[in-house]
Amino acid sequence: MNLLSSREAAVQDTSLPVGPGLRIADLTGTSGIRVVGVIDPSTRSIWEQRLDVLVGAGGGTIDLSRLAFADVRGVSALVDAARRVRPPRTLTVRHAPESVRKVLRLFWAEEYMNLLNEGMRP
């Protein structure tokens, strides 16, 4: 099985479109979600609602390997959600596109390494 097939296997088959241009699927075997598509003004409220659910569950992993685009406000919502997770739990981002990494480095340099590598701790 190749790496892509392994990643695909980690996502439940029950993923549903949750907005125009955005699909969010639960990860199996761990608390988390995979984001597919774009986070922009037309999908932001759905994105924020799913982040709220993840924070309420105590954090987890967000797989952005299939994210095509996220505007700055979408990335801001991600950082805000990570800040709301209570220690010792964390919110961790995996496979963030370079565009998301750049926005994080520009606006949230202090949180950048924790969020992308080991989870963000307040």
Residue 118's contacts (CB-CB under 8 Å, 6 or more residues apart) are: 90, 92
DSSP line for 13-73: TT-EEEETTEEEEEBSSSSEEEEEEEESTTTHHHHHHHHHHHHHTT-EEEEEEEEEEE-HH
Instruction: Give the pTM.
Output: 0.79
Domains of the chain in start order, with CATH, are 3-118 (3.30.750.24)
Give residue 110's pLDDT.
81
Give residue 44's pLDDT.
95
pLDDT band (50, 70, 90) for residue 59: very high
